[in-house]
Structure 1
Amino acid sequence: MSEHQVNTERFESSSCGINHVEGGWPKDINPNEMEQTIRFRKKVEKDESYMNSILQLGSLMEHCIRQNNAVDIYQEYFQDEDEVDESQEPPSAKTINVFRDPTEVKRSVTGLSWHPDGGRKLAAAYSCLEFQRSSRDMSLDSYIWDVENPNRPETTLKPPSALVCLDYNPKDCHTLVGGCYNGQIAYWDTRRGSQPVELSSVEQSHRDPVYKIIWLQSKTGTDAFSASTDGQVLWWDVRKLSEPTDRLVLDPGREGNLDRAFGAISLEFESTMPTKFMVGTEQGVVVSCNRKAKTPAEKIVCTYDGHHGPVYALHRNPFFPKNFLTVGDWTARIWSEDIKESSIMWTKYQTSYLMDACWSPVRPSVFFTVKMDGVLDVWDILFKQSDPMLSLKVCDSALYSLRVQDSGRLVACGSQLGEATLLEVCCGLSTLQKNEKTLLAAMFERETKREKILEARQREIRLKERSRSEQSREEEAGREEGEDDPDKMAARAESDFHSQVEAELRRRERREEEKDVCEEKEVKNESG
């Protein structure tokens, strides 16, 4: 038996400071003079000993650089595992703040817009859209709220008429544009107070409330366009709102007739497709338009008919712009630009009216809807198509508006009684999941192909029915032509009469023969 003892060498560490001063220069060279240092460097670089030392040191430095590249100390090696854990947690959302209308007569929150710089502020438009329900005591003011301070608004906006919609300028966080109830367009710069800087004239504005206004992607960052139920889409330059720069009448006949125009109630513009825009109408039809077309007939490209009532929301998927979401009546529908006859996916009919919807900016398969019963629904079409992933009762009154912040974490909902509720969704609903884009792209492609096949089948059935109806019409027409001739009608009637008489005579002869047979049988039985 032996005993062994092992101990490591003790390491003593000490900390000390060092003052670094540039050195190594000859005495006759001033390091602060650039010309002298450049001249000296050129002289040294030509020396053979310098070249040899650089070659020797180069191999050592290369070895150190390879060691540094082998292990990245800043890389998150277990990031995928964290994502899996987040996705496994149940979906949830919590209320952070509620911004209430400070006026006595409460109005509906009809429009919301997030501040483009980090979402620290929320602009809300307040108006009463119920017919003849607005009173003289009702305030016209709208507000900009600080998300951390729900007690009082940070800025008050004073439009000439109640604001129905508003939108922050994505290029300039101090400017907003809004659409009024009386059809006017107002432009604010928050650095210049509560009053609008520019205001469109009543004569050149919309004739109905402006339900949607959106900033356009332009070099100046001052272009916007608006839509109203008067059947017009107007383009504006906010530096000069005296008259619109362009105009489009939503006439389905493509003749520019305002009397037959569809009333616009929602609007969609994707900056990656600057020539295209889409309009949702009161008649349940989505109109796809080309902004750069020269004539009104060419500006309206096609229509998508899919809702029983007004299309309250219209939003392209930020990851797959060919697919867009619409909300109208009691259902939400997902469309593909390639199929105009029907949508490729839809939710089942809800018990209450859907009023607004939008896609998540970070998760391509998630979208949000709000309803008249005060419920916010969160849908994940990769997880489940028949029911929402999360349903949350936000308030007792109807929810009219919805807007998701760019990070996908904060959701703002506007109610009928003037409450703007700010909610925070869980990490699973605001973090991109593994393979989510590829799976959703495959789903959209599969559903589009399926719908194309079904539409082709329906088209064949309709053609067959049409050919059958045409044949039956021709036969009826032939019969009618024959019936019009009195000689042919008399001959047909005479032949029918003779055929009926002959049939009756045969019937009587058959009865008499049967009677004779029966009598003969009875006689035989009696004799037997």
Structure 2
Amino acid sequence: MEIVYVYTKLRRDLGRPCSFSDRCEQIDVDIHPDPELSKQLIHKTHRDQALQTGPEMSEHQVNTGGFEVKSCGMNHVEGGWPKDIDPEKVEQTIRFRKKVEKDEGYANSIRQLSSVMEHCMRQNNAIDIYQEYLEDEEEVVENQELPYAKTINVFRDPNEVKRTVTSLSWHPEGERKLAAAYSCLEFQKWSKDMSLDSYIWDVVKPNCPEMSLKPTSPIICLEYNPKDSHFLVGGCYNGQIVYWDTRRGSQPVECSSLECGHRDPVYKVIWLQSKTGTDAFSASTGGQVLWWDVRKLSEPTERLVLDLSREGNIDRAVGAVSLEFETTMPTKFMVGTEQGMVVSCNRKAKTPAEKIVCTYDAHHGPIYALQRNPFFPKNFLTIGDWTARIWSEEIKESSIMSTKYQMSYLMDACWSPVRPSVFFTAKMDGVLDVWDILFKQNEPKLSIKVCDKALYSVRVQDNGRLLGCGSQQGDTTLLEISSGLSTLQKNEKSLMAGMFERETKREKILEARQREMRLKERCRSEQSKAEETGREEGEEDPEQLIARAESDFYTMVEMEFKRREERKEKLQLPYLFLVSDGQSFEMDCFQPVGAQLHA
């Protein structure tokens, strides 16, 4: 099959035409032969032959069509649930399953599907689909690259008077947008020239923010709604809760009232899992945790006073700085306080006193970050003073793991959403530490000097590759983490489960030992206190008691000797016999005669 293709082009596109004319011959250069060059001549044999192209060996010619590649994806979502059933709530799904199983159509559907399932099972039994055909080939060992983090972009506060980036929140549907809250947390450092706006940044366009959020008071915390990415909720410096819909512009849709809200700045707000997707709860240093429905922020739907005496007295409440809520535990939440304690609470308790379950004495100062491990929810991370600590819910007296005391104060931390052993900490000296507790527990695996100012916030994107750090100067630095720190390693989950279990058992043994030592010390102190009380009531010293016992003993011995001598003398004296009226009487010489006669 011969393929011919004719290329055509207009004459005017070929340029100016050539003009030829006749003329006489002319010698331009005359080069005479050089006899010396003849000595360098190499005679070519008939066996040497030069080829410019190889010979054609194919017997047939085939003209194949172009292959078009198309990328497409599939979003697999658990479906089939009615609108009034929330698939993430286990109680509702179990109740719905039991209802469906009692239906007659369910049994008929199972009978029809059983034949198809049986056919597939027989195919699997006939063909080993898991057979390994390349067992003999050696596994290619990948080169372990050194951990790194490179700066991609820096988002700077566009205002002249710079403010602190107090909170960061990634867009739930991708890695293109990052919401940042700006506020000044230094006491009496706020000026009239400072802006109240916070911004939503586009990762690709760092020069100017994509959208401005204009609250009535500076925003301290800001969170995207995980169900609807158009909704944001924020906590303000004056205690208000503000709610935005990005489709409606920069102005807030709803604001809470000052009378029914928090009395102090709101340091943390978290969205709750609900049917409507509009429920959230917040905490502030005023000592209250409030639940809200953002569609109606006039008053909170529920209120909890953090009074550790469980009396609900707002005057004795402890201030809240951080919050933690895990969707797999819808009734439990944790609060980090200014006094360094973690308060574990149960929202579904019947009375306010029962809502505060227990406390953990965690740090010497405020707990600025509190987060459960995304793979092991029973273990949580706390940041306060100069250390980071990992706790287990089963151990309340001490942490199962902790870092050594750092030279700078720690301000924020978060777990990696991809690797269960990796977490990030931000410090006051502008250094970001990346910890891998499977690799090393005493030192961070990677330390990065992000900026010269203090880092106040850090947040990791859901894929684990991008990380945002907010500084005191108003700069948000976007970092890309190496693949070794953002890719799940082999057997990492099982190794972390074993490590957490081992450390929990060790702390239990140490806790039991400490409890036993405290009990012995208490008994010893009670005994010494009883002795001191006895001495105060008039008892003598042990030496005096011994001396008095010796003197009493010798006195009794002397009295006994005297008694025996007197008795011996009685036995040696004669008796007198008297006869009166035909009767005889025996008289003892040591007794009075009148007394014996009377007897």
- Does TM, normalized by the shorter one, top 0.5? yes
Alpha-carbon distance in structure 2 between the residues aligned to 1:260 and 1:139: 35
Alpha-carbon distance in structure 1 between the residues aligned to 2:139 and 2:455: 37
The answer to whether 1:187 aligns with 2:235 is no
1:376-455, aligned counterparts within 5 Å?
A: 376-455=432-511
Partner SS for 2:510: helix
Name 2:36's counterpart in structure 1: none
Partner SS for 2:291: strand
TM-score normalized by structure 1? 0.78
Counterpart AA for 1:394: V
User: Alpha-carbon deviation of 1:479?
Assistant: 1.4
Counterpart AA for 2:481: V
User: Alpha-carbon deviation of 1:482?
Assistant: 1.7
2:60 aligns with one of 3, 12, 21? 12
Alpha-carbon distance in structure 1 between the residues aligned to 2:59 and 2:504: 70
Structure 2: gaps spanning 5 or more residues: 1-56, 66-122, 552-599
Alpha-carbon distance in structure 2 between the residues aligned to 1:429 and 1:359: 12
Counterparts in 2 of 1:81 and 1:343: CA distance versus 1, 3 Å: farther
Alpha-carbon distance in structure 1 between the residues aligned to 2:210 and 2:271: 23
Q: Show CA shifts across 1:436-479 (max 9, x none).
A: 00001000000000000001001111100110111111111111
Q: Show CA shifts across 1:273-295 (max 9, x none).
A: 11110000000000001111121
Highest relative contact order (Cα 8 Å, sep 6+), 1 or 2? 1
TM-score normalized by structure 2? 0.69
1:201-216, aligned counterparts within 5 Å?
A: 201-216=257-272
The answer to whether 1:127 aligns with 2:175 is no
Counterparts in 2 of 1:78 and 1:152: CA distance versus 1, 3 Å: farther
Alpha-carbon distance in structure 2 between the residues aligned to 1:80 and 1:384: 27
In the TM superposition, structure 1's runs of 4+ consecutive aligned residues that sit over 3 Å from their partners are 65-72, 77-82
Structure 1: gaps spanning 5 or more residues: 1-8, 18-61, 500-528
Name 1:465's counterpart in structure 2: 521
Name 1:29's counterpart in structure 2: none
User: Alpha-carbon deviation of 1:14?
Assistant: 2.6
Q: Show CA shifts across 1:102-129 (max 9, x none).
A: 0111100001000001121000000001
Counterparts in 2 of 1:13 and 1:292: CA distance versus 1, 3 Å: farther
Percent same amino acid at aligned positions? 76
Alpha-carbon distance in structure 2 between the residues aligned to 1:417 and 1:79: 53
Name 2:18's counterpart in structure 1: none
User: Alpha-carbon deviation of 1:260?
Assistant: 0.7
User: Alpha-carbon deviation of 1:138?
Assistant: 0.8
| Paired positions, count | 435
Name 1:339's counterpart in structure 2: 395
Counterpart AA for 1:14: V
Counterparts in 2 of 1:309 and 1:16: CA distance versus 1, 3 Å: closer
Alpha-carbon distance in structure 1 between the residues aligned to 2:401 and 2:129: 51
1:225-374, aligned counterparts within 5 Å?
A: 225-374=281-430
Counterpart AA for 1:387: E
Partner SS for 1:182: coil
Alpha-carbon distance in structure 2 between the residues aligned to 1:377 and 1:101: 24
Alpha-carbon distance in structure 1 between the residues aligned to 2:184 and 2:341: 25
Alpha-carbon distance in structure 2 between the residues aligned to 1:218 and 1:439: 34
Q: Comparing both structures, which one devotes a greater share of its residues to helix?
A: 1
User: Alpha-carbon deviation of 1:15?
Assistant: 4.0
Counterparts in 2 of 1:468 and 1:66: CA distance versus 1, 3 Å: closer
Partner SS for 1:475: helix
User: Alpha-carbon deviation of 1:481?
Assistant: 1.2
Counterparts in 2 of 1:471 and 1:281: CA distance versus 1, 3 Å: same
Q: Show CA shifts across 1:167-215 (max 9, x none).
A: 0000111110000000000000011000000111111110100000010
Alpha-carbon distance in structure 1 between the residues aligned to 2:263 and 2:475: 28
The answer to whether 1:91 aligns with 2:139 is no
1:104-119, aligned counterparts within 5 Å?
A: 104-119=160-175
Counterparts in 2 of 1:151 and 1:80: CA distance versus 1, 3 Å: farther
1:59-70, aligned counterparts within 5 Å?
A: none
Q: Show CA shifts across 1:407-462 (max 9, x none).
A: 00001000001000000010000000001000010000000000000010011111
Alpha-carbon distance in structure 2 between the residues aligned to 1:208 and 1:68: 63
RMSD: 2.8
User: Alpha-carbon deviation of 1:95?
Assistant: 0.4
